[in-house]
Amino acid sequence: MGALLSSILLISGVHGVYEGVPPVVMAGFIIVSGALIFLGVFISQKRRHWFQRSVLTNGEVVEVSKRYERSDKLGQSPIFFPVVSFNVNGRQFKIEADKGMSMLSQVGQTMKVRYNPENPYDSALGERNIPGINPNVFYILGIVLLAVSTMLMFK
């Protein structure tokens, strides 16, 4: 049994005293965390620029999709996704809500739509919503990775 254990340890490369994470790996983590934070700043500026150029209009709910969460096995808590139609320069566009609503929207109800005048397909429901991913995800991941790698480097 002892020979088996020693051969496993030999194969796994475990020997001597653990000296921590190599500085090259920590430098890589710091570079990745900086890239995540930079990406968050880039996306944030892009979203701010989109919001400044966008136009607000009224749309009309033309359809409501009803879906259920995977965990809702009995189908007791539906989530509603309104499909809103809006007009730009005589052309009709439709957008479906990215996030579900717990209350049912009525067909014919008016909703605010924010869209890019150069490309009305690039739109979002609501006065303050912006299409695309939220940059806070990148900020949080970058800051956590930076903090952990800094703590491990000076440990």
Q: Can you read off the two tokens belonging to residue 135?
A: 């940059």
Report, in angstroms and rounded to the nearest whole number, the Rg of the chain calculated over CA atoms: 25
Residues 6+ apart with CB under 8 A from 120: 86, 88, 91, 93
pTM over 0.75: no
CA distance 143 to 148: 9
Cα dihedral value 71, 75, 76, 81, nearest 10 = 90
Higher pLDDT, 28 or 46: 46
Count of all residues that appear for the chain in the document: 155
Can you list the positions of beta strands (E) in 38-133? 55-67, 79-88, 91-96, 110-116, 119-125
The pLDDT assigned to 29 comes to 86
The string of pLDDT tens digits covering residues 93-124 is 999 888 877 676 788 889 999 999 999 999 99
The pLDDT assigned to 17 comes to 61
